[in-house]
A = this chain, B = another copy of it.
Amino acid sequence: MTILDEHMLEIRVRFFEVDSMGFLHHSRFLQYFELGRTELLRARGHCYADIERQGYCFAVTQAQVKYRAPAHYDDLLQLTTRLTRQTEVRFEHTYELRRDGQLLAEGQTTIACLNRQGKVVQIPETLRVKS
């Protein structure tokens, strides 16, 4: 796996994100991964809100998660987000969510760059990662 870019983010599990079993709900992991992508961008000097204002958006076209162990309310988690592939129009990221070293989940997503009309377009040059 090529790693084009990488970022680590700490996330504390919020009370209302946890289900009646006391576990972080499995749909929340995709929301955490989105936070990871946002902060990966920010670490490179970009702001997703600005990208949207310029008329672009990134739509998730595919997502996969493997859940290894539950996270609980108030857990402090470490999310590693890696950019592993870029094409003219798509980014692929992988994710590892850990608590004190223990792997809780692994994920992978593909996002496509769209314009305001929802058409797939080239990723702006400034957002592309140079090797």
Contacts and interface: CB of A to CB of B under 8 A. Distances in A.
Interface of A: 14-16, 18-23, 25-28, 30-31, 34-35, 38, 47-49, 52, 57, 59-67, 70, 72-74, 118
A62 B67 CA distance: 6
Contact of A20 (B19, B28, B47, B60): B19
Nearest 4 A/B pairs, CB to CB: A27-B30, A26-B60, A49-B74, A20-B22
A14 B35 contact: yes
Contacts of A62: 64-67
B16 A57 contact: no
A65 B63 contact: yes
